[in-house]
């Protein structure tokens, strides 16, 4: 068994290499398993990789495991997938269960330690059954656009932090805490350099994943989908974030999975957004495959915490990093501080955090895989 800390990859390339190296282990269980790739159209060194196999006897159910929709979050996501492959996958029955493991939905973002893709697109605002990349969507974003996406070089960190706090206070006073949060997170389709930008059409990364979802729902009676994210929720307790399209309550799933923290992605418990990937697979199932059984969820590994401090810090970190990306920083030190804060939000280095994150993932794997009938 790999030790917990050594599971965390340090580069996109080494993570991908390790992922590809799992093929023989998967092959031992599923003799038809194969490695597939989508090479990004603008850079043939960047690939979305997946290992897929049908069940060896009868396609009853499939396990779908996805990582890195938000590129920088794939360092943690890849860790959890590796743990799954080593310790949980061997307990699955390949005769009746297919497997689909996806490494780095957003490889450019992983390689470059950004959340969005090369075009600054947050892929989790692009998964729409009925694609509407409407530039007028979320008009309230305009009210906070100048605050979120300041133009000009990132200068002194302390002054920027103070300016941020005043700006935040002013904006919350104007449109309320709830109004601010909704406008921020809902997604927007007009400022291509702004936070939570969803683009103008379905990106190639998104299209690749959509095709895999269709295959899974078409060929299997039951689909279990686990997706990995970081940044949201309490620092030392991973949250399972369910789609608002799943009718089960959070309390129901906490009992069912014997897992202490489940929330639903509604405006009350989490936040409402357009183009969410988990909502997409539910909408697809409900529209085109109503007879199929589906459970899909996101593992959200919290980092800055869910106290007021944490809630206020995440936008700050994202604003500074995005500004430094587009407009540069006054010197290397300020640029490094912006990147460092960003890593702390999506790819923490603290050892105690890493240990607890893996432990939480194990507890969730155990609870979900048992309850859904994938392991006994
Ligand atoms: Zn994420």
| Ligand 1 midpoint to CA 298 (Å) | 9
Q: How many CB atoms lie within 10 A of CB 271?
A: 16
Q: How do residues 260-316 score in pLDDT, each as one tens digit?
A: 999 987 766 666 689 999 999 999 999 999 999 999 999 999 999 988 888 889 999
pLDDT recorded at residue 1: 57
pLDDT of residue 269: 65
Strand-pairing partners, residue 103, are 49
| 198 within 8 A of 124, measured Cβ to Cβ | no
What predicted TM-score, i.e. pTM, was given to this entire model? Answer: 0.96
**What number is the average pLDDT over the span 363-367?**
98
Mean pLDDT value across residues 167-187: 92
Please state the rounded mean pLDDT for residues 199-216.
Answer: 98
The rounded Å distance from CA 74 to ligand 1 centre is 9
Assigned CATH class of 5-129+201-303+348-371: alpha beta
CA of 68 to the centre of ligand 1 (A): 8
List, as ranges, residues with CB under 5 A of the ion ligand 1.
70, 73, 229
- Reported as a pLDDT band with limits 50, 70 and 90, residue 126 is very high
CA atoms within 13 A on the CB side of 79: 29
Distance in Å, CA 115 to ligand 1 centroid: 8
Q: What confidence score (pLDDT) does residue 246 get?
A: 93
Structure token digits, residue 191 = 């400022």
Q: How far is the CA of 307 from the centre of ligand 1 (A)?
A: 19
Kindly indicate the confidence band of residue 344, based on its pLDDT and cuts at 50, 70 and 90. very high
What residues does each domain of the chain span?
5-129+201-303+348-371, 141-185+307-345
Task: Say what percent of the chain tops pLDDT 70.
Answer: 98
| Distance from Cα 231 to the centre of ligand 1, integer Å | 7
> In the chain, which ranges are E strands?
34-39, 47-53, 61-66, 97-103, 222-230, 239-242, 262-264, 293-301
């Amino acid at each position: 068994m790999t030790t917990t800390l050594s599971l965390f990859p340090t580069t996109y390339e080494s993570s991908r290499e390790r992922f590809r190296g799992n093929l023989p282990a998967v092959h031992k269980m599923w003799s038809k398993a194969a490695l597939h790739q989508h090479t990004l159209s603008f850079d043939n060194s960047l690939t979305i990789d997946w290992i897929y196999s049908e069940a060896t006897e009868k396609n009853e159910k499939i396990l779908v495991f996805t990582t890195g929709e938000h590129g920088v979050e794939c360092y943690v996501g890849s860790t959890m997938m590796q743990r799954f492959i080593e310790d949980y996958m061997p307990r699955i029955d390949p005769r009746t269960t297919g497997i689909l493991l996806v490494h780095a939905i957003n490889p450019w973002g992983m390689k470059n330690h950004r959340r969005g893709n090369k075009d600054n697109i947050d892929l989790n605002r692009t998964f729409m059954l009925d694609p509407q990349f409407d530039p007028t969507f979320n008009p309230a974003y305009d009210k906070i656009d100048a605050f979120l996406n300041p133009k000009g070089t990132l200068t002194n960190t302390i002054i920027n932090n103070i300016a941020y706090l005043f700006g935040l206070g002013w904006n919350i006073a104007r449109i309320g805490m709830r109004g601010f949060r909704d406008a921020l997170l809902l997604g927007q389709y007009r400022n291509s350099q702004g936070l939570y930008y969803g683009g103008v059409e379905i990106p190639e990364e998104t299209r690749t994943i959509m095709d895999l979802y269709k295959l899974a729902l078409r060929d299997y009676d039951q689909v279990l989908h686990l997706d990995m994210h970081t940044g949201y929720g309490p620092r030392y307790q991973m949250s399972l974030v369910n789609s608002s399209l799943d009718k089960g309550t959070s309390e129901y799933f906490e009992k069912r999975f014997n897992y202490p923290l489940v929330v639903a992605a509604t405006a009350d418990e989490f936040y409402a957004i357009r183009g969410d990937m988990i909502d997409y697979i539910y909408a697809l199932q409900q529209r085109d495959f109503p007879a199929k059984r589906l459970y899909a969820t996101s593992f959200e590994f919290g980092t800055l915490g869910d106290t007021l401090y944490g809630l206020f810090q995440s936008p700050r970190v994202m604003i500074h990093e995005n500004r430094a990306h587009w407009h540069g920083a006054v010197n290397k030190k300020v640029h490094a501080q912006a990147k460092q804060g960003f890593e702390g939000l999506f790819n923490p280095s603290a050892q105690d955090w890493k240990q607890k994150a893996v432990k939480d993932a194990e507890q969730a794997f155990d609870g979900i895989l048992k309850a859904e009938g994938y392991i006994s």
